[in-house]
Amino acid sequence: MTFVVAFPLLGAPLLALGAVGLAAWARDRSGGAPAGLHPDPTTTTGRLRRWDGAAWTDEVADGGPPHGRGRWFRGRFWGIGWLSAALPALLVAAVGGASWIATRSDVVLVVLSALTQTFVCLAVYRFVARQTALEEVVSGRAVLAAAVAGAGATMLVANPLDDLTGFLLGTEGALWFAGPVEELTKLVVPLAVFLLLRRLRDPRAGLALGLASGFGFAVAENALYAVTVPRGAAPDVCRALVRPTAGTDLGQLLDRVVLVEPLHWLLTGAVVLVIWRQWHRHGVRLTLPVVGAVLFAMAAHSLNDASAGWGCSPSYLGVRSALQPLVVLALYLVLRAVARRSLPPTRVGLVSRGWHPRRLPTATAADAPGSAEPAVPTRA
């Protein structure tokens, strides 16, 4: 239980370490397609759309050769980069799980949970980066630093606040408040980079920072639950009604890796991208999309957590377990819908059809302000 007591104390050095890393490595990159007219990613016709260097504008013009929009689950959907991270996650889960059942060691279970979650997060980041060319706008070291800082914020801020709400409001009340507490905590690191360091303001860099902050939160939270779950301390409100075993405890932790913790990075990645894109277009303001994205994330998070306390009957738990993969899939589709609007010109026609934007605002070149130069296509 020493780890549980010291958990918040580990947050400060991790947050400081991540902050130092961000100060050193969070440098804006100028790679990728230059500003100008590029093949419009929303259509296969010979239409061009202006890319301002960080986002698509509403200015379109006729011209340029027809181009493709990819095929479903083809193109850059598959890749050795993200698959090579997913396979070690399975290996660590199998070997570590067998070791823990044999030893019942807290250290083994914490390492198992943290490593499995880390490899899953690495696979997810590599997959998204492969679709959206995140390497054009942010370095891998900056993403790592943001994840470390996110883990520190989890330990230092979110975990004590969750405990406080649990003490004041009980378990069910704490589950409802988890959404605001945890979603706002995950925004601390990205907002600090944007507002304090004044770096990585490209919308795709925001996507990377949001994912990284969610990754750090997921790794830290699952490491904590690796100690508390076997002791019945958290977070299962129905635990008293079942007979837990080493196998069920291990299954619950691994279930969190793929069906619960993904909510952290899916929600925060989408929210930060929306905020960055709005601030890129309109300046730093609390626009309706900014407020709406944050409220959506908090509501979705609270609803998901609170539903764990709505019933403990086998039938209810079975239905909830069956719906959890659909929740993850739905939030992945939300993230994809948000992220594909920032698909860079260098990926048009190369990624699968699902990662091409469906609709973008449209205005002719003659109607767009400040667009007097001729529409000259650039190679995507």
What are 356-368's pLDDT values in tens digits? 888 888 876 555 4
Q: Nearest Cα to 233, choosing from 211, 219, 252?
A: 252
Residue 243 has pLDDT above 50, yes or no: no
State what percent of residues in the chain have pLDDT above 70. 86
DSSP state of 111: H
Question: Parallel, antiparallel, or unpaired: how do β-strands 56-62 and 47-51 relate?
Answer: antiparallel
How far apart CA 319 and CA 200 sit, in angstroms, is 42
User: Which pLDDT score, from 0 to 100, does residue 379 have?
Assistant: 38
Whether residue 70 contacts residue 95, with contact meaning beta carbons closer than 8 Å, is answered with: no
User: Which pLDDT score, from 0 to 100, does residue 378 have?
Assistant: 39
How far apart CA 140 and CA 126 sit, in angstroms, is 10
Q: Residue 74 — pLDDT band, cuts 50, 70, 90?
A: low
The predicted model gives 150-163 an average pLDDT of 91
In a domain, 63, yes or no: no
Q: Which residue has the higher pLDDT, 329 or 233?
A: 329
In a domain, 57, yes or no: no
Maximum C-alpha span of the chain: 72
The predicted model gives 233-245 an average pLDDT of 54
In a domain, 46, yes or no: no
User: Which pLDDT score, from 0 to 100, does residue 75 have?
Assistant: 64
Range of the domain at 296: 2-27+71-359
- Give DSSP secondary structure letters for 200-225: --SHHHHHHHHHHHHHHHHHHHHHHH
Whether residue 48 contacts residue 324, with contact meaning beta carbons closer than 8 Å, is answered with: no
User: Which pLDDT score, from 0 to 100, does residue 99 have?
Assistant: 84
In a domain, 329, yes or no: yes
From residue 317, give the alpha-carbon distance in Å to each of 179, 312, 322: 21, 6, 9
pLDDT in tens, 255-310: 888 888 999 999 999 999 999 999 999 999 999 999 999 999 999 999 998 888 78
CB atoms inside a 10 Å sphere around CB 85: 19
Residue 65 has pLDDT above 80, yes or no: no
How open is the CA angle 314-304-242, to the nearest 5 degrees? 30
Q: Residue 293: which residues within 8 A CB-CB, separation 6 or more?
A: 270, 271, 274, 275
User: Which pLDDT score, from 0 to 100, does residue 25 have?
Assistant: 95
> Picking from 182-186, 213-217, 228-232, 345-349, which range would have the lowest pLDDT averaged per residue?
228-232
Q: Is the peptide bond before 235 cis (omega within 30 degrees of 0)?
A: yes
Q: How many CA atoms within 13 Å lie on the side-chain side of 269? A: 34
Residue 50 DSSP SS3: strand
Q: Which of 3-7, 180-184, 350-354 is most confident?
A: 180-184
Whether residue 111 contacts residue 232, with contact meaning beta carbons closer than 8 Å, is answered with: no
User: Which pLDDT score, from 0 to 100, does residue 22 have?
Assistant: 96
**Residue 279 tokens, joined:** 């601030």
- Four-residue CA torsion sign, 67, 71, 73, 75: negative
In a domain, 45, yes or no: no
How far apart CA 56 and CA 340 sit, in angstroms, is 11
How far apart CA 326 and CA 330 sit, in angstroms, is 6
Domain count, the chain: 1
> Picking from 80-84, 258-262, 314-318, which range would have the lowest pLDDT averaged per residue?
80-84
In a domain, 142, yes or no: yes
- Give DSSP secondary structure letters for 295-340: HHHHHHHHHHHHGGGS--SHHHHHHHHHHHHHHHHHHHHHHHHHHG
Residues comprising the chain, all counted: 380
Helices within the chain (DSSP H only): 2-25, 80-103, 106-132, 140-153, 159-192, 203-228, 246-259, 262-282, 288-306, 314-339
User: What mean pLDDT value characterizes the chain?
Assistant: 84
In a domain, 368, yes or no: no
> Picking from 90-104, 119-133, 190-204, which range would have the lowest pLDDT averaged per residue?
90-104
In a domain, 76, yes or no: yes
How far apart CA 139 and CA 141 sit, in angstroms, is 5
CB atoms inside a 10 Å sphere around CB 287: 16
The helix or strand, by DSSP H or E, that contains position 340, with its residue range, turns out to be none
Q: Which of 224-238, 262-276, 306-320 is most confident?
A: 262-276
In single-letter form, the type of residue at position 10 comes to L
Whether residue 206 contacts residue 272, with contact meaning beta carbons closer than 8 Å, is answered with: yes
Residue 111 has pLDDT above 50, yes or no: yes
